Amino acid sequence: MASEADLDADIKSLSILSEHPDLYAEFASLGCVGSLVSLLSHENTDIAIDAIEILGELTDEDVEAEQEEWDVLVTAMVDADVIALLGQNLARLDEGNDADRSGVYHVM
């Protein structure tokens, strides 16, 4: 990435995937789910919050995915240690900061 601004834009562009859950298996098999989850530990909390928001969009109850599509996505997320990384973000985000508060909201 040329910059964190480019990374930010690239992460946000992944939101389109929630409209195409048929691509979840491919997204997982390419290692992209693991890469997205790994961004939860990025030193820049804005990047971590972007990743949290995208994970939330991919798993939103309004996504019309088949059970097998959910299974592939969630298994890849769990394998990438998403639960522990979300917990770490809750510990490091400051609810007194507006941007961080949004991150806490999306983790919950």
Q: Name 69's Cβ contacts closer than 8 Å, sequence gap at least 6.
A: 21, 22, 24, 25
Identify the CA nearest to 88 among candidates 50, 49, 60: 49
Residue-wise pLDDT tens for the chain (108 aa)? 568 899 999 999 999 999 999 999 999 999 999 999 999 999 999 999 999 999 999 999 999 999 999 999 999 999 999 999 999 999 999 999 988 898 998 898
Note the pTM of the prediction, 2 decimals.
0.91
C-beta atoms surrounding 21 within 10 Å: 19
Question: Domain segments of the chain: what residues?
Answer: 4-8+20-107
- Both tokens of 24, joined, read 């979840």
